[in-house]
C-alpha cells in the first residue's frame, strides 16, 4: 500500500508540474491588460469565484491587499443577495471560473454592465461567456487534471494559484512596493517589528532612564548604575545634552587605578560616548550596538538632548532578533 500511495502522490505532482510549466507561455496581451487594469484601478479589486476557484480567490485577494492593491473577496452567491452593492464603477471585478460558465454569472454580468464595472477573468475557456464579457482574460487552461477521474480540480487550481501570484507580484513591483510598505500591512509580524519600529518606540523613558549631571560624583553614578541595571549611565550637562557615558567598566577601571568614589564623574566617564538617535530604525540601532559590542546606549532627540535609554534586551522583547 505504501508504494501505491507514494506512486499516486508522485504522479499527481508530476502532472501538476507539467501543466504549470506551460504558464510562462500564457503571459500574453491578456495578462498585460489585466495587470495594467489592476495597477491603474482607482477603486478596489473585488475577487470572486465559486467552489475551489473561490478558495483560491480568497488567497489572491489577501495577497493583493497585502502587497499594495486594495482588494477583498466576495462570494458570488452573497453578491447576488446584496453584496453587489459593495461594487462601484471605479472598482474592478476579477472573476475566477475555469469553465467560465458559472450560473451566477448569468445574473452578475448584466449588473456589472449596468454599473460599468470593469471585468477581468481568470479562466481556462477563452470562448466562455465569462471570457467574452471580460476586458482581459488570464489563461489557466490545462490538458488534464491530476485527479485520476479527471473530476476534482487539481492542476487547474494550481494554475489559478500561480497565475494569481504572478499577477499580484507583477503589479506589486510595478508599484515600487517595498519592504516597509509590506510591513505596514503586517504590523504585528516579525517583519513589522523589524521595519516599522523606531528607537523611540522601544526605549526606556522617565524614571527608567539612568542619568547624572556632570557635577555628580563617581559614587552618585555608581548608585545610578545599581538602580537601573543597564550597565551604563549617561552624564548630562545643564542643557541635558550627553557629555559622556559612565559604565560598569569605567567604574572598575577607575577604582583599580586608585580613583576615589568622591571624585567627579567627569574624570572617570567615557567622554562623548556612543548615543542612538530616537528616530533611528530600531533594527539598524540594534545592529550598531552589536557591531560595537556594547549592550546599552543613551538615546538622544533631534536637539541632541537625552530622551531615553535602550539595551539589547529591549530589542529582543520587541521581536527584533
| Ordered structural domains, the chain, with CATH | 2-177 (3.40.50.10490), 197-317 (3.10.580.10)
Residue appearing with cell numbers 496581451: 29
Q: What is the pLDDT of residue 17?
A: 96
**CA 254 – CA 215 distance, rounded (Å):** 17
Rg (CA), the chain: 31
Residue 169, all three cell numbers: 507580484
Contact criterion met (CB below 8 Å) for 113 and 87: no
Q: Is 75 annotated as a binding residue?
A: yes
**What average pLDDT does the chain have?**
91
Q: Is the dihedral of CA 182, 289, 243, 211 positive or negative?
A: positive
Of 172, 153, 191, residue with least CA distance to 56: 153
Residue appearing with cell numbers 476579477: 94
Q: What is the pLDDT of residues 245-258, one digit of tens each?
A: 999 999 999 999 99
Give the neighbor-by-neighbor strand order of the sheet with 296-300. Answer: 276-277, 296-300, 306-311
Q: What is the pLDDT of residue 308?
A: 93
**CA 139 – CA 114 distance, rounded (Å):** 26
Residue ranges of alpha helices (H) inside the chain are 2-20, 29-39, 51-66, 76-79, 105-115, 129-133, 155-175, 179-185, 190-196, 199-202, 218-228, 248-256, 265-268, 282-292, 312-317
Does the model's pTM come out above 0.85?
no
Section 22-40 average pLDDT: 96
* 116: enclosing H helix or E strand: none
Q: How confident is the model at residue 185 (pLDDT cuts 50, 70, 90)?
A: low
**CA 321 – CA 319 distance, rounded (Å):** 6
Amino acid at each position: 500500500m505504501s508504494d501505491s500511495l507514494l506512486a499516486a502522490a508522485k504522479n499527481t505532482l508530476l502532472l501538476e508540474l507539467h501543466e504549470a510549466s506551460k504558464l510562462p507561455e500564457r503571459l500574453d496581451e491578456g495578462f498585460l491588460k489585466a495587470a495594467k487594469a489592476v495597477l491603474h484601478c482607482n477603486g478596489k479589486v473585488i475577487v470572486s469565484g465559486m467552489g475551489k476557484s473561490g478558495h483560491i480567490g480568497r488567497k489572491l485577494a489577501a495577497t493583493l491587499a497585502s502587497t499594495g492593491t486594495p482588494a477583498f473577496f466576495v462570494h458570488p452567491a452573497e453578491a447576488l443577495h446584496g453584496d453587489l452593492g459593495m461594487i462601484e464603477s471605479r472598482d474592478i471585478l476579477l472573476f475566477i471560473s475555469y469553465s467560465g460558465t458559472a450560473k451566477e454569472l448569468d445574473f452578475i454580468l448584466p449588473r456589472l454592465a449596468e454599473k460599468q464595472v470593469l471585468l477581468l477573468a481568470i479562466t481556462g475557456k477563452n470562448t466562455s461567456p465569462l471570457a467574452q464579457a471580460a476586458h482581459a482574460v488570464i489563461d489557466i487552461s490545462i490538458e488534464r487534471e491530476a485527479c485520476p477521474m479527471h473530476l476534482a480540480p487539481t492542476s487547474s487550481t494550481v494554475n489559478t494559484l500561480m497565475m494569481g501570484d504572478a499577477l499580484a507580484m507583477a503589479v506589486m513591483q510595478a508599484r515600487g512596493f517595498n519592504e516597509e510598505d509590506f510591513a505596514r500591512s503586517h504590523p504585528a509580524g516579525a517583519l513589522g517589528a523589524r521595519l516599522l519600529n523606531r528607537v523611540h518606540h522601544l526605549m526606556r523613558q522617565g524614571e527608567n532612564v539612568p542619568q547624572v549631571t556632570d557635577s555628580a560624583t563617581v559614587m552618585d553614578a555608581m548608585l545610578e548604575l545599581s538602580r537601573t541595571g543597564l550597565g551604563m549611565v549617561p552624564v548630562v550637562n545643564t542643557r541635558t545634552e550627553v557629555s559622556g557615558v559612565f559604565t560598569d567598566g569605567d567604574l572598575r577601571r577607575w577604582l583599580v587605578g586608585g580613583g576615589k568614589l568622591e571624585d567627579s564623574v567627569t574624570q572617570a566617564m567615557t567622554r562623548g560616548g556612543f548615543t542612538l538617535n530616537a528616530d533611528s530604525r530600531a533594527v539598524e540601532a540594534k545592529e550598531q550596538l552589536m557591531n560595537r559590542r556594547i549592550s546599552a546606549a543613551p538615546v538622544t532627540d533631534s536637539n541632541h538632548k537625552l530622551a531615553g535609554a535602550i539595551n539589547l534586551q529591549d530589542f529582543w522583547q520587541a521581536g527584533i532578533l
